[in-house]
Amino acid sequence: MPDHTSADPAGTRPRVLHLISDPRRGGAQNFARDLHRELRRRGQASALCALAPHPAAGPAGPLLPGPRAADRTGVRAGAGPGARPDGLDRQPDPHPGACADEEDLRAAVLGSGRLRPGTLRALRAAARAADVVLAHGSDTLAACALALAGTRTPFVYVSVGHPRYWTANRLRRVRGGALMHRAAAVTTLTGEARAVLEGQFRLPDGKVHVIPNSRAAESYPPADGRADRRAARRALGLPADVLLVAWIGAIAPEKRLDLALDVLDRLPDVRLAIAGDGPLRETLARHPAAARAHFLGALPDPAPLYRAADALLLTSDSEGVPGALIEAALAGVPAVATDVGWVREVVRDGATGALVAPGDPLALAEALAKVLACNRAGLGAAARAHALEHFELGAVVDAWQGLVAEVWAGGAPGVRTGS
């Protein structure tokens, strides 16, 4: 069991290391950054690491290479093997209400590939400075199970997707179950997801905990009037005086950008701003409607796009509780979304946006046209109020702190929020 007196000067709070797959802006990464920042604000030692660099950045060196490491990874320059990631060797913030700066939110890159031996060795070394590791997303589950085997640092697997999707075949179920059994605890977003995980993988009672998806409201401020919206569009290189719909996500098969472009083909007065990248980008850029689409790539921060947009469109075949919907709602942007996973927990059909059966571009186009033609400001205000009540980060951080403390203490975690 860890020596609790080493956790921080007060000896009462564990040091947390957040692990993400790479520094891109995705659902798991955005939540990890927000939670990291909030824990720092509350005076808890917290650090952020990524297994690998952004795929577009090319190969990166190991976690702790030479004197220019801080420029690339956010790790202290010149640090040697086993040194602590930024945030774990500092005194807790004496002003917990102060905002973390951008340097605090930069992820230290551990290696050049997610499961390469050098990356796993760097993760093992970084984890020595932590009392608990939070593994955000499925790629980090395998890395923690391998790198932390035989160490005294426990890890919590933070599951963010719909488990029925990523356990669709036997090989995935066997692999996922073996890895999850190595975690000290598993978190998921809804009671139904917990039941799936417990049933599929025979996880013991008390191991899976429901903590809702959430975001920090301050990170996604609504547009302050028409001038602010126009300024956000100008900064992104988007047209000022058109109906603009945002689409945010990986350009991968399950996200169905092809459907969004089919929708665009049916709405000639609408433009689509696409934030994301992926294997289907080149193919979909040749879609007949792509002339009215703006491919922005992976944005370093999606908040300006929310301020620029009149609505958000989500066309996925599979989701959990999508972070992009929460972010858009906090920004006061109504959404039209496919009714998959637990999307309806965020989008209230007819009250904050519209829900449509998956795979139907005509129904999506009709719903989007209706949302764009009606009281968008009213829908957006209702979406923001709903998100602030149910998905604002501050409401769930207590649950995260309680779970981390229980895992650190070595007991059977008893924190369960949700049904």
DSSP secondary structure letters along 121-168 = HHHHHHHTT-SEEEEESHHHHHHHHHHTTTSS--EEEE--S-HHHHT-
User: 256, 337, 264, 250: which is closest to 297 by C-alpha?
Assistant: 250
User: In the structure, how many helices (H) and strands (E) does the chain have?
Assistant: 15, 13
Pick from 70-84, 218-232, 284-298: least confident: 70-84
Mean local confidence (pLDDT), 298-307: 93
Is pLDDT above 50 for 6? no
Is pLDDT above 50 for 94? no
Pairing of strands 243-248, 208-210: unpaired
Under a CB-based contact definition with an 8 Å cutoff, are residues 16 and 87 in contact?
Answer: no
Q: Which pTM value belongs to this model?
A: 0.77
- Residues 332 and 275: their CA atoms lie apart, in Å, by 18
- Residues 376 and 228: their CA atoms lie apart, in Å, by 16
Pick from 130-144, 163-177, 206-220, 253-267: least confident: 163-177
Mean local confidence (pLDDT), 85-92: 55
Condensed to tens digits (0 to 9), the pLDDT of residues 374-410 reads: 899 999 999 999 999 999 998 789 999 999 999 999 8
Region of 183 on the Ramachandran plot (φ > 0 left; ψ -120 to 50 alpha; else beta)? beta
Is pLDDT above 50 for 61? no
Pick from 103-107, 197-201, 334-338: least confident: 103-107
3-class DSSP assignment, residue 401: helix
Is pLDDT above 70 for 69? no
Pick from 101-110, 114-123, 188-197: least confident: 101-110
Is pLDDT above 70 for 109? yes
Please classify residue 287 by burial: count the beta carbons closer than 10 Å to its beta carbon, then call 0-12 exposed, 13-18 middle and 19+ buried: middle
Under a CB-based contact definition with an 8 Å cutoff, are residues 266 and 291 in contact?
Answer: no
